[in-house]
Structure formats: C-alpha cells, structure tokens
Amino acid sequence: MKSISLYEEKASFVHDVDPITKLWYIPFAILIPIILPSFTISFLFIGLSLVLLLGAKVIRKTIPVFGFVFLILITVVLIQGMFKPENETVLFQIGPLTMYKEGLLFALTITLRVINIICAFMILVLTTKPSDLVEALVRKGMSPRIGYVIVSVFQIIPEMMATMSTITDAQRARGMETEGKLLVRIKAFIPLLGPVVLGSLINTKERAMALEVRGFNSQAPKTYLYEEKTYQFSKVLQIGMLLLTMAAVSWRIFL
Amino acid sequence: MIKIANLSFSYNKETRVLSGINLEFDRRSTAIIGQNGAGKTTLVKLMKGLLKADEGKILIHEHDVSGKTAAQLARTIGLVFQNPNDQIFKRTVLDEVMFGPLNIKMDKQTAKEKAIEALKMVELDDKLEMNPHDLSLSEKKLLCIASVVAMDTDIIIFDEPTIAQDHGGKEKIRQIIQALKDKNKLVMTIIHDMDFVAENFERTIVFNDGQVLLDGETRDVFSQKELLKTACVEAPGITKLAERLGFKDTVLTVDEFINMKKTYSPPQ
Ligand SMILES: Nc1ncnc2c1ncn2[C@@H]1O[C@H](COP(=O)(O)OP(=O)(O)OP(=O)(O)O)[C@@H](O)[C@H]1O
Ligand SMILES: [Mg+2]
C-alpha cells in the first residue's frame, strides 16, 4: 500500500537525530528571524536548513514542494512589487509594468519567511517516520489515544484510495465503464463514495474491536514496540537552541 | 476461445509474477491449481482486463483484450473474485446481483429474473433485501457467484469458489458448474481443493512460480507425482491411496476406486 507520508528512509546524521529535537528546530528556525528581522539572519537560517536537507540526502524530495511554493510566491512578488500602497521608488520598468523598491523588499521578506518555514518543517517531515514522532510524543506524555488518531490519519487516506481502486475493479469487472472520458469517470466516481465511506466505517468498527481485544484501553502503563530513538547530542542541541533564542530576545530588547 | 501468447506481467519492477505464458482454452472445464502466490489470480485478472500485460497477447474470441476496457469485456467473461469483500459494494443482495446484468444493457425485468434465478441456485432468494455485509463469509461467496452467473457470460471464471463452504455449499457450487457446462460455457476455476478438481474438471493446469508447469487431462496431471511436488500440490487422497496400493491406472474419485477394486487383485 502506498504511504502518504513523505518520509524517506536514508542513513544520515539528520536521520539519527531524535524526533523531538527536530520538532524543536521548527519553532527555533522560525522564531529567530522574526525576533531579529534582518535579511542576513533569514539567509543564514535558510542556508542552515538547506545544508541539513542536503546532509540528509532528501533535497530532491523538496523540489516539487518548492516548485509549488514558488508558483505562489511569484504572484506575491508581482503584486507587491507593482501595487503595494507604500510603493514610491521606481526600480525598473518592463513595458507598461512598473516595479517598486518598497514592494519588492516586502515581497522578499515574505518569500524568505515562507521558504524558511517550509525548510524547517521539511527537515522534520522528510527525515522522521510519522509513527516515530508520535511515539516520541507519547513517551513525553501525550495521550496514546491522540497518538493513535494522528497515526490513523496517515493510514486512512491511502486505505481509502486502496478501497476505491478495489471497488472500481469490482464495477469494471461487471460491466460498468470507468475508463475514458471525464464524464464517464465522474459518473463512475459518484457511486463510489457510498461504499468507500461505508467501508471505512465498517473498518473503523472492526479496528476498534481489534484494539479492544488487544488491550488498548488497559490502564496499565504501555510499553513500546520500537526502541526509543535516542541521540547523544539531543540535550545539547535542545539547550543550545533555547539559549540562542533567549540570546536573540535579549539582543532585540537591550541593543 | 481464449488464446494466450508469451504473456508476462509484474506488479513492480523487482519481481516478475508471470513470465512467458502460452495457453489455449477450449470449452473443456478447466481447473487452475498451484501454490499460494504462483500467479493464478494475476492471470485471470489479466484475462479480465483488470490488469494490463507487460508483454504478450491475450485473445478472446479472436479479439485482442488490450484494445478493450474491462467493462466491454464483462459481456463475454465473468470473474468471481477470490475475496468476496472486494467484489460486494451494493446495499442489498438483489441490487448486488442485478448490478452486472443492468450494466450489460439487459432491461430491468430480464435483469431481475436472471438475478432471482441465480440467487435461487445458491439458495439466497429468501434474503433479497438483506445487506450483503451482514451475510456470513460462505453466503457472501455464494452471492458473488450468483452475481456473476446472472450476467450469463460465455466464459466464467471462479477464483476459489469453495473457500469457507461446508459440504452443502460445495454441492451447490458443483451443481452450478455442471449447469454452466451443460449450457456449453467455458468454466475455469482456481482452486486448492484437489478432490473437487478431480471430481469436476476435465482439464487441469498447474502453475508454479509464474509459469505453467503441467497442463493436460486432469487424470494425466494427477499421475505426475514428482512434478506436482515441485508445485507444492498433492493429488487427491483417493488417488494417492490407489497408487500406493499398486493400481495401474490413476484413480480420481471414490466411485472409480470402488469399481477398480472389484477387478483388482493385490500383488502377492
Ligand atoms: N496488487 C499487488 N501488488 C503487488 N504484488 C502483488 C499484488 N497482488 C499480488 N501480488 C503478488 O503477486 C504474486 C502472485 O499473486 P497472485 O495473487 O496472482 O497469486 P495466487 O496464485 O492467486 O495465490 P493464492 O493461491 O494465494 O491466491 C504474489 O507474490 C503476490 O504477493
Ligand atoms: Mg489467488
């Protein structure tokens, strides 16, 4: 079955880092450029994230994501560059279009922020198995029920897709046209919805029973299937990030 | 009726599921046997147009399968899925069985008649309004059989029809297969129940590791003890008993055994 998680199994020092530290990295990398709003800092963090993504050998997987994001950012640059109310200084003209400095600088800030946020999230998402992250959170005290719900979300969509193709096969096998023109496809799709939803409800009921008979609701403390992923420098990194954030705050306040 | 030439297929690049299959089917009823994972289900899905071959050709009634959609093929070839839960998706037993006939442009009246007739054969005609998901596994399997039989196709393939069936259920399936043979249809069955094979099918094809290992009259196939072993299948108990007792001919059924026994004198 296909997985919807973007996680890529590789051996790298980024993969070795425990999920919680990578989770910490996200607010760290997002907050500091906000606390210290300079282009240098933003570039620094984007650079750092990109180096980590490169080191994790997952940079290729980021390309489609960035492709999509750039498409949106280009419209931001164009609109801000031309129409931002504060626009005064003309930078250049292409035909009838005039680009202003103020708008472009503002667009650049937004662009850097967005890229920075996406990079930080991507490090976590691409190098951490969702179940590892959830298990680490449960170890930290999150309720196993919530953990289970999160993990289920990662399973239910591919499961629904599999159910859909199963039912499509059942329909085609008995003479219902599902291939070809768009109209035919749509016509075939609508009667799918009922069985797919019904099917997942039945699955849910059966899964609840399966969980129940295997003691999911037991009050005893749970043990874990996987060994806890530990990383020797996780404390150092976490404390380091915290200190740097505090340093950034005091820099901002006192200097 | 069906001609398969040099057929190969794989689900993913790493492993080939079927390679270089050449087969021809006439109207003889045919059993397809072989160990789990040998590629039997994959082969029939290819014939049905649910999967597309990587290489090779399948001709049904001289028409190339690759040029038709599965829905078009459904008029000529019916398939009862291995797992009934994969096949059932309507909300009542009657709707489920009428779905196929209505799709191949039977009018509502005829479709209903055919559906009820098929449901009578599997003795589910008293449960027309029930939700199929509330049926037992064996009943679901029978329902799937009925919903394909109702389409009255020229070729009909069963993928393990006897799973979960008690003696009565098997007897119903036997009668259905016989009725279809009497109507001169090509009946093909994937099956692990060797007694059922020996008693009901003229021809047997043994699959092993994505290839045809043996193909011939059922009697001849079951006499090839060594080859059967490589495919992890066994001749029926009665066949093995007769062989151990030193009978010259391959025995397929208990009746045959008894008849032979009358004329047989044990070696001294
Ligand atoms: N959808 C699929 N994707 C990938 N591999 C598959 C898929 N379906 C089947 N396979 C693999 O293809 C091989 C042949 O499967 P197939 O279902 O055709 O075997 P079979 O002979 O019908 O076995 P059984 O007697 O267990 O029904 C198996 O190794 C199986 O794991
Ligand atoms: Mg199978």
A3 pLDDT higher than 90:
no
Q: Does any domain span residue A73?
A: yes
Residue A4 is assigned to a structural domain of this protein: no
Min Cα–Cα distance to chain A from B72, Å? 6
Nearest to B128 by CA among B150, B103, B106, B159: B150
- A191 and A109 both lie in a single domain: no
Coil, strand or helix: which one is B34? Answer: strand
Domain membership flag for residue A217: no
Instruction: Say yes or no: A122 and A140 in one domain.
Output: no
Instruction: Give the tens place of pLDDT for each residue, A164-213.
Output: 888 889 999 999 888 777 888 787 778 777 777 777 777 778 888 888 88
Asked whether residue A136 carries a pLDDT value surpassing 70, the answer given is yes
Q: How many CB pairs under 8 A join A and B?
A: 58
| B246 sits in which H/E element | none
Tokens of A246: 């505090």
The Å distance, Cα A114 to ligand 2 centre, comes to 50
Of B72, B103, B133, which is closest to A174 when you measure between CB atoms? Answer: B103
Q: Which helix (H) or strand (E) holds B192?
A: none
| A13 within some domain | no
A81 and A164 inside one domain: no
User: Taking a C-beta distance cutoff of 8 angstroms, is the pair A241, A25 a contact?
Assistant: yes
Answer whether A202 touches B (CB < 8 Å). yes
Under the banding of pLDDT at 50, 70 and 90, the label for residue A130 is confident
Give the pLDDT of residue B265: 65
Type of residue found at B41: T
- Closest-CA residue of chain B to A176: B71
Mind telling me how many Å the CA of A135 is from chain B's nearest CA? 31
Q: Taking residues A11-16, what's their average pLDDT?
A: 90
A171 and A94 within one domain = no
Position A3 in a domain: no
Inter-chain contact B87–A176, Cβ cutoff 8 Å? no
- Report the domain count for chain A: 2
**How many Å apart are CA A243 and CA A212, to the nearest integer?**
45
Same-domain pairing of A123 and A161: no
List, as one string, the DSSP characters of chain A.
-----------SHHHHS-HHHHHHHHHHHHHHHHHS--HHHHHHHHHHHHHHHHHTT-HHHHHHHHHHHHHHHHHHHHHHHHH-TT--SEEEEETTEEEEHHHHHHHHHHHHHHHHHHHHHHHHHHHS-HHHHHHHHHHTT--HHHHHHHHHHHHHHHHHHHHHHHHHHHHHHTT---SSSHHHHHHHHHHHHHHHHHHHHHHHHHHHHHHHHTTTT--SPPP-SSPP---TTHHHHHHHHHHHHHHHHHHHHH-
Structural domain range at position A201: 136-212
Are A238 and A121 contained in the same domain? yes
The answer to whether the CB atoms of A170 and B147 lie below 8 A apart is: no
Distance CA A134, CA A20 (A): 10
Comparing CB atoms, the residue among B69, B100, B103 nearest residue A180 is: B69
How far apart, in whole angstroms, are the C-alpha atoms of residue B207 and residue B191? Answer: 11
Q: Are A202 and A103 members of one domain?
A: no
Q: Is residue A41 in a domain?
A: yes
Do residues A87 and A48 both lie within one domain? yes
**What confidence score (pLDDT) does residue B267 get?**
59
For residue A224, being part of any structural domain is answered with: no
Rounded Cα gap, residues B85 and B83, in angstroms: 5
pTM, two decimal places: 0.75
Task: Judge if A32 and A65 occupy the same domain.
Answer: yes
The residue-averaged pLDDT of A79-94 equals: 86
3-state SS assignment for residue B7: strand
Least CB-CB distance to A170: which of B78, B87, B104? B87
Sort residue B95 into left (φ over 0), alpha (ψ -120 to 50) or beta. alpha
* Domain co-membership, A117 together with A150: no
pLDDT at A120: 93
- B195-237: pLDDT as tens digits: 999 999 999 999 999 999 999 999 999 999 889 999 889 899 9
**Cβ separation of A169 and B50 shorter than 8 Å?**
yes
Question: Do residue A195 and residue A154 come from a single domain?
Answer: yes
- Does A190 lie in the same domain as A111? no
Q: Which helix (H) or strand (E) holds B251?
A: none
Q: How far is CA B165 from the centre of its chain?
A: 15
